[in-house]
Amino acid sequence: DRFTVVRSMSHEDLDHGSAVYLALTGHYHARRSGNPPIAPNDAPTYGAILRRLSKGGRLADAVHLNAPALVPFIPSPGQYAGLLGRAYEPLVVGNVAESAGAIPGLALTDDVPTVRMSSRLSLKESLDHSLETLSKNERAIDINRLYGQAYQMLSSPQARDAFNLDAEPARIRDRYGRHRSGQALLMARRLVEAGVPYINVTWNHSNRGQDKDPQDTDVCGWDTHNDIFDVMQNQLLPRFDESFSALMEDLDQRGLLEQTLVVCMGEFGRAPRIALEKKFAGATPGRKHWATVYSIVVAGAGVKRGSIVGSSDRLGGEPTSERYGPWDVSATMFSALGIDPHGTYADAFGRPFVITEGRPIAALYHG
């Protein structure tokens, strides 16, 4: 009773890599492919746009957890800053379940305390200012901005605490599930409490991790062309139900859900018909890609509880109501953040780009 299901999501891209790009940028990729290359002129991921528009002053503006998303073992485009430049990359944290008290790289070492790190940064800044050409170079400016952000994270006790899962009671960690996706959702809740405005959690980071290591349930992905009954019933759904329900319950009980928009979605859905695809191991039953109609879950930030938006036909193959696309999801998210989804941001060369051509999904809140 805490969320609403949108049942009439729809778009035209059936390839994982470019569809991930579409889901995380709100724009179609120029090349629809399972593994399109990551390019500097890519549309920026949502978190990068938020960082570009932010005035700073937060622990972090955008964090990607359990990332990057792999297809099946290659990072997909759409998760990066693209044409905004590297200075606006979201903070990426991989397997948080393996961290012992602190995320590697977010803590100063004993031989480099805060005072020593601060003096190093001051020396670097003075050298940069003495080299006029370097100080005006766009790439150098990006790097300097990254140095500043890194120092802010390293020197912040708030950052170390927010990323420290050992600060959570054992019963809470157990409730979320002692696996990398569950612990990533728990860290997401901690980051919400710390004031981070945008958090992207990848659930099971490889879409076909079971092909490489069928025994490792942490990498079993949702690309269920085969073994759909075993994988869904025994691995994917029990863990997802455990962890997602824990997040929703936790946010609600802490009074955070009404101010936090939660969007649970994939890059597309699965075909309404179960079939055998011989190219997959064992030719056991599975479902192909399907973007004509699929569902997402949305909750919090004023979204109606226990409701349904949109509909599909009796087979779940075609929408029978107003269609919504990833661009509409992006408009909904930016609107919830208090940002005009039809506003603009400027790239590294000052060129204006519209955030999204979509529109907020009003039916989530009214009707």
pLDDT digits (tens, 9 = 90+) for 183-216: 999 999 999 999 999 999 999 888 777 777 777 7
Task: Work out the angle between the directed axes of helices 180-193 and 237-253 (0-180°, nearest 10).
Answer: 20
- Which residue type occupies 103? I
| Residue 104 pLDDT greater than 90, yes or no | no
Quote the tokens at residue 155: 């020197």
- Does residue 288 contact residue 271 with C-beta atoms inside 8 Å? yes
- Tokens 């869904």 belong to which residue? 232
Note if the pTM is more than 0.85.
yes
**Predicted pLDDT at 115:** 67
3-state class of 30 per DSSP? coil
**Predicted pLDDT at 282:** 61
The residue-averaged pLDDT of 79-95 equals: 94
d(CA 110, CA 97): 24
Question: Which DSSP letter does residue 43 get?
Answer: P
- Which residue type occupies 51? R
36-50, 58-72, 141-155, 245-259: which range is least confident on average?
Answer: 141-155
Pairing of strands 198-201, 262-264: unpaired
The residue-averaged pLDDT of 328-338 equals: 98
Give the number of other CB atoms < 10 A from CB of residue 139.
12
DSSP 126-173: HHHHH-HHHHH-HHHHHHHHHHHHHHHHHT-HHHHHHT-GGGS-HHHH
Range among 2-11, 50-59, 64-73 rated most confident: 2-11
Architecture of domain 3-108+155-364: 3-Layer(aba) Sandwich (3.40)
| Residue 143 pLDDT greater than 80, yes or no | no
62-71, 152-161, 163-172, 180-189: which range is least confident on average?
Answer: 152-161
- Which residue type occupies 235? Q
Q: Does 104 or 171 have the greater pLDDT score?
A: 171
Pairing of strands 285-286, 275-276: antiparallel
d(CA 159, CA 262): 22
Indicate the domain borders of the chain.
Answer: 3-108+155-364
**Predicted pLDDT at 92:** 94
Taking the mean position of all CA atoms in its chain, how far away is CA 38? Answer: 17
Q: How confident is the model at residue 28 (pLDDT cuts 50, 70, 90)?
A: very high
Instruction: Using the Cα atoms of residue 94, residue 99, residue 102 and residue 105 in order, give the sign of their dihedral.
Output: negative
- The C-alpha torsion from 312 through 279 and 202 to 42, rounded to 10°, is -90
Residues belonging to the chain: 367
pLDDT digits (tens, 9 = 90+) for 251-290: 999 999 999 999 999 999 999 999 887 776 566 899 999 9
- Does residue 137 contact residue 99 with C-beta atoms inside 8 Å? no
> What are the respective helix, strand and coil percentages of the chain, to the nearest 5?
40, 15, 45
